[in-house]
Structure 1
Amino acid sequence: MDELAPRLDFKHSAFARHTIRHRWPVILAQLIDSVYRNRIRYQKDEGIDPEKLKSLTGYIGQLRYEVTTDKPITLLSSVLPSCNEELEVWNGRLRAIGVELTGEDDLKGVTSQHPSWHSLPWLLTECYLYRRIMDHVFHHGLLSFDPFAAKKHSGLKGSVALLEQLLQFLSLLEDTCGYTSDEEIFKTFFQAALWANEFDLSLHAQGEHHVGGTSDLPTHIRRMLECMVVNDTHELWRFWINRMKGPRAVSPKQEHITSIILDNAGPELVADLCLAEFLIRSQLTSRVVFYPKCIPWFVSDVTATDIDWLLKPTPGHADGRSGSSPVNFLSEIPRFGRFHVISLNWRRMSEHCSTRLRSQMW
């Protein structure tokens, strides 16, 4: 009979142990540094009180101490904007596993039986870590503040050369000579969206990470294809084209919706948008629905604000060259009116990753 693998926690998993001992403290230290270095800009551009930023850096420093010294975890206190039930769900889950303390309680002398950072499943505590950060952000009324935004923007700037090539592929759809087949373009966009996942900044806490380095897009994709165990892109293309244009294609009157659950901002978000644009232009779908996170998670995860920032055509946007950013081409994408964004709250958390989704229109 199949058995569940050992749960990923500090005691049973080398990955979880490395994450807790090394990645989390580095991420938190970098976050303190980022908030401090950008404090003047936050005050000028977003009108944030410097004292609130000072309080946030102090809180993150205390959080880092609690993580590294395996202190007890505590209940949350702040409600997410437009999501009153989320706090109740989180605290209900925490109480169910024995968490009784609040942020106001003295953690000294607490019995070792109380759940702590090292004793709980890694995935639960990693989600809790980011929710704790935002707990303090929301406590100070900074409802639209993303403490990880600066790092996400920096990562995009470093990948502009590769993104220029990706955006140029969209022009092939308007080239009547058409030396590249729809299937090849389909595969290129799918593979680009897949491998842009390496931008996940929570896994590259030791420094900046840019997708693709200096290689051209086809070379980068060919190199990454060697890492794949199974590649069913051709079968996916055949299924898709038959679904939309084959003998048993959906009726023209029937709406065909493609859902994209977004992961990382930066290059991966650009790749997802280009894939969606290709599907719509090629009449392989009638509408695309994007699902970002409702608050910043895992350093680089996409929020609705990240989409706004990316699609806003501003001088010097993304790469610092006034009026010349290739990402500005993306500002033309929404003209089709067939992109929709829905924010998701992950409704249930457990060590075995059992979840339910709760949609919220944005």
Structure 2
Amino acid sequence: MDVPCFLSARFEGSFAYLTVKDRLPQILTKVIDTVHREKHKFLEEYGEDGIEAEKKALAHFSKLRNEMQTDKPLIVITDDLPDTHIWNEYLKYQQSLLGDGELPSWFQSPWLYVECYLYRRIHEGMALSPPISGYDVFKEAKNDSFFQSQNAILALCTHLQELKKGIADISETAQREAFSKLLQVSLWGNKCDLSISGGQDNAQKFSILNSLESLKSNILVDDTEFVWLLLSQKKGSSRRIDIVLDNAGFELVTDFVLADLLLSLQLATEVHLHAKCIPWYVSDTTKQDIDWTIKQLLGSNNRWMSKCGETWKENLQKGYWVYHENLFWTLPHEFCSMARTSPDLYAELQKCDLILFKGDLNYRKLTGDRKWDFTVPFSQALTTFHPAPLCSLRTLKSDVQVGLKPGGGELLTAAEADWMISGKYGVIQFSPLI
């Protein structure tokens, strides 16, 4: 099988180029502003040590921004965290792919690598700045996104609780419709991505439930029926579904709502949630975000929101939902290397009956972030990654897409030049176990 080249900022005018040139420096500038605004908090908590740590972190970030904007060679990571040696070995690997005298750099190396590298270097800046090392530089943005999505969250929690009231008595057709509806909600929840908006407000202001019918034509690949058939065949028997989460805020609530429904419809007996172990891509979900979100819902004055918080807390406590984190999710590796580089995680995923991968970054890692032809089958683009049946729920925010009908991508390109990066379109794309 011919594998196409990686997406890279070396292709001037590409989305990767514009990302490295404009969007990533903008995100880093917001990190600098956020840490600086917390100066007084650091002083209150840690005294002069907090102020010195803030200065050290800001110096690290300013240097990092200069390196990126001037296309300096990528350098080794100098903290002593569990993944440091993996990152530095990967840098050596990238260098081994180049000719004599060439070094990996921001604009020349694969986009997936340098973008992940940026977030790891941001984490390095905090790790090297005790006592403020535990501060999540993206927490404020994630929390704001949650609060700005209150109306949409309220509507979704209300819909779920009213649906669950009579769920034992509804027909299989109605169950399939309920599942399809909340799968679409989880898909479109992926629009709320602060790494794509450069950290600017990208919340879901209004109920998405009323827009599902009009959004259906924007789902370029809809394999819902295959997913339903897989899950409904052994309904009621022991069944595990894993969700590899993407963004906190509204999207996380949509994922919780879907996970709740999977249990309520007896399509799953347990749902395993995979999140990031460090702050990542501005709005990616960490364990702290999961706990914080449930706490906010529990404390809500609205009975349906608080009921959701109560149920979801109980699901985690009783093991109906199981939380996982693994270093692999915050490494630059594409997923086809997982069996070799993280065999423990690959073996864990092999235990499940279906994996739902949320979001654009997961799609990029599933497909290797390469310039595939639009018609290449999804399963083929996964190359060697087939731990279990899997489904990608993704709104398009990067220029990689596979599994389209012949001519489909070209027609979209002719009609809308930015169709692959606007977030307007989505896919519910399934691959069986091969």
User: What is aligned with 2:195?
Assistant: 202
Q: What amino acid sits opposite 1:136 in the alignment?
A: G
Per the alignment, do residues 112 and 284 of structure 1 end up closer, same or farther by CA in structure 2, a change over 3 Å counting?
Answer: same
Name the structure 1 match of 2:77.
76
Q: Give the letter for the 2:201 counterpart.
A: E
- 1:343 matches 2:351: no
User: Size of the alignment, in residue pairs?
Assistant: 330
Corresponding residue for 1:226? 217
Q: How many Å separate the matches in 1 of 2:307 and 2:54?
A: 34
SS at match of 2:134: coil
Task: Tell me the equivalent position of 1:128.
Answer: 117
Alignment of 1:92-131 (within 5 A): 92-98=89-95, 113-131=102-120
**Map 1:236-315 → 2, pairs under 5 A:** 236-245=227-236, 250=237, 255-313=238-296
Q: Do structure 1's residue 10 and structure 2's residue 3 form an aligned pair?
A: no
Distance 1:22 1:327, change over 3 A: farther
Deviations, residues 295-335 of structure 1 (Å, cap 9, x unaligned): 111111111111111112489x6xxxx85597544431221
Which structure 1 residue ranges, 5 or more long, are not aligned?
100-110
Give the counterpart letter for 2:11 in structure 1.
Answer: H
Q: Is the 8 A contact 1:342 1:359 kept in 2?
A: no
**Cα distance in 2 for residues equivalent to 1:289 and 1:11:** 38
SS at match of 1:198: coil
Partners of 1:272 and 1:66 lie apart in 2 by: 37
* Alignment partner, residue 26 of structure 2: 26
Q: Does 1:157 align with 2:147?
A: yes
* Aligned counterparts of 2:215 and 2:36: Cα–Cα separation in 1: 37
Q: CA deviation at 1:45?
A: 7.2
Tell me which of 164, 168, 171 is aligned to 2:161: 171
CA shift in 2, pair 1:327/1:94, >3 Å: farther
**1:140 and 2:129 equivalent?**
yes
* % same residue: 29
Q: In structure 2, how many angstroms separate the alpha carbons of the residues matched to 1:227 and 1:291?
A: 27
CA distance change for structure 1 residues 173 and 44 in 2, over 3 Å: closer, same or farther?
Answer: farther
Is the Cα contact below 8 Å between 1:156 and 1:210 reproduced in 2? yes
Cα shift at 1:34: 1.8
Question: 2:309 matched to 1:331?
Answer: yes
Any idea what SS the aligned residue of 1:244 has?
coil
Gaps of 5+ in 2: 349-434
Report the alpha carbon displacement of residue 174 of structure 1 after superposing the two structures with TM: 3.7
Give, in angstroms, the shift of residue 25 of structure 1: 0.9
Task: Describe the SS at the equivalent of 2:235.
Answer: helix
- Name which of structure 1's ranges 335-344 and 4-13 shifts more when overlaid on structure 2: 4-13
CA 1:118–1:224: 2 relative to 1, 3 Å = same
Q: Distance in 1 between matches of 2:54 and 2:211?
A: 40
Q: How far 1:140 sits from its partner (Å)? A: 2.2
Please report how far the alpha carbon of residue 112 of structure 1 lies from its aligned counterpart in structure 2 after TM superposition. 6.9
**Where does residue 105 of structure 1 map in the other structure?**
none
**In structure 1, C-alpha distance between the alignment counterparts of 2:181 and 2:46, rounded to whole Å:** 38
Q: Normalization by structure 2: what TM-score?
A: 0.68
> Given the superposition, is the C-alpha separation of residues 235 and 9 from structure 1 closer, same or farther in structure 2, using an over 3 Å criterion?
closer
Give the RMSD, CA atoms, in angstroms: 3.0
Work out the CA distance in 2 between the residues paired with 1:334 and 1:98.
Answer: 46
Kindly provide the amino acid, as one letter, of the partner of residue 196 in structure 2: L
What is the match of residue 60 of structure 2? 59
Q: 1:237 to 1:139 in 2, by over 3 A?
A: same
Question: Are 2:91 and 2:104, in contact at CA under 8 Å, matched by a contact in 1?
Answer: no
Partners of 1:39 and 1:77 lie apart in 2 by 24
User: TM-score normalized by structure 1?
Assistant: 0.81
1:287–1:314: structure 2 CA closer, same or farther, 3 Å change rule? closer
The answer to whether the 8 Å contact 2:277/2:286 transfers is yes
State the distance in 2 between where 1:293 and 1:134 align. Answer: 13
Residue 169 of structure 1: how far off its partner (Å)? 1.9
Q: Report deviation, 1:71.
A: 1.3
